[in-house]
Amino acid sequence: MSTLRLLSASGALSDAELNDSGAYTRPSSSLQSRVAYAAAHVVPKVHADNTPGQPADIDWDSTLAFRRNVYSWGLGVADAMDTAQRNMGLDAAATRELISRSAEVAREEGGSVVVGVNTDHVDETRISLDQVIDAYVSQLEFTEEQGAGPVLMASRHLARVAESADDYRRVYRAVLSRATTPVVLHWLGTAFDPELEGYFGASDWQTASGVLLDIIAENPGKVAGVKMSLLNAESEISVRSRLPEGVRMFTGDDFNYVGLIGDSAEGHSDALLGAFAAITPVASAAIQALDAGDAAAYERILGPTEELSRQVFAAPTFYYKTGVAFLSWLNGHQPAFQMVGGLHSARSLPHLSRIVELANASLALEQPELARKRWHGMLRLNGVDA
């Protein structure tokens, strides 16, 4: 029997039995009952200077292989978003190259890719509303040229300069008028980015959601869906129930996705989740169960992963990317536990130990013996007896 050595926040050591993998089966075609995207991360070159403040130097082979793996499980890829460390190590030049390369891989694999459209290539901290519009449109046009679906991300520039809900309506109306394909609107909460306080013109979600719904109604045919990342199931269910026909709700709630995606009397959400990059085979198996009409199997497979996701996305939530990259390394998708911007140092060893424990319990370790070997090596490197 193999065991995992675990480290508590007090420094106490314990052991847990190493489980077998879930032995999940890749689907023979795309998933049917839900549209599901995994928000993917980037892998740095091991030998590069990916220290804080340096431009991202990406291992493209490993980064793109990760996306091919996501497609092989029937999920789509959401790229160049916050999971890819956008505004936290991924600079503007690297973002453009990632979008271009990822769109090419999607065409080769026959997969679906959506990518983030923002204003973050503009260096100035504060710009005018007209400049916000121009910045959005510049990235939108580039994204459409690459053949990727646009996700209109929340803009820090807009949050800084907007003085009212009407300013949000004006900017989104102008940008959406330039879109040649329907976009997904992304509402990112302050847990992920504190600089987005008051987005859509209000600090309370009830008022802000009314503005979001107004924007959708005022721009018919321009919005394919909404990705809500407020970590608040009540707000998502409320907005979902009021969306116009044909506009999807993509849950970005990494705390409550099991119930939001599953069938209920209140309907269901589709998925666009950083968590699904960490547990791709498990997520695929669960949605395959829904495809087969087996809601009980869906709950049995996906339910245990929610505690793991809550650990990965624990406060400060914007460091969740560290947990995604850590699991990618444990599961053999990258050669080293490194991240652009040096962000692999953003979580403590006990925090990572709890991720190992919960990934093992939820059968999210794809190659358990490899994960055990890598984790124990990391413990020894840090002076812990493994």
Model-level pTM?
Answer: 0.97
Cβ neighbours of 264 (radius 10 Å)? 12
pLDDT single digits (tens) 75-93: 999 999 999 999 999 999 9
Angstrom distance (rounded) from CA 288 to CA 350:
34
SS3 79: strand
Beta-strand pair 3-7/36-39: unpaired
Q: Which helix (H) or strand (E) holds 7?
A: strand 3-7
List, in order, residues 6 or more apart from 384 with CB less than 8 Å away.
5, 7, 13, 349
Cα→Cα distances 308→231, 320, 380, Å? 15, 11, 24
Angstrom distance (rounded) from CA 137 to CA 195:
22
From 373, 381, 379, 372, select the one nearest 17 (Cα to Cα). Answer: 372
Here the tokens at position 50 are 């990916």
List, in order, residues 6 or more apart from 100 with CB less than 8 Å away.
146
CB 207 within 8 A of CB 198: no
pLDDT single digits (tens) 113-151: 999 999 999 999 999 999 999 999 999 999 999 999 999
Rounded (5°) CA angle 331-334-339: 115
Indicate whether 29 pLDDT > 90: no
pLDDT single digits (tens) 91-104: 999 999 999 999 99
What average pLDDT score do residues 259-271 get? 93
Here the tokens at position 266 are 């209140």
CB 94 within 8 A of CB 106: no
Which pLDDT belongs to residue 226? Answer: 98
Indicate whether 264 pLDDT > 90: no
What average pLDDT score do residues 148-159 get? 98
Indicate whether 1 pLDDT > 80: no
pLDDT single digits (tens) 306-352: 999 999 999 999 999 999 999 999 999 999 999 999 999 999 999 99
79 DSSP β-pair partners: 115
What average pLDDT score do residues 259-281 get? 95
pLDDT single digits (tens) 287-314: 999 999 999 999 999 999 999 999 999 9
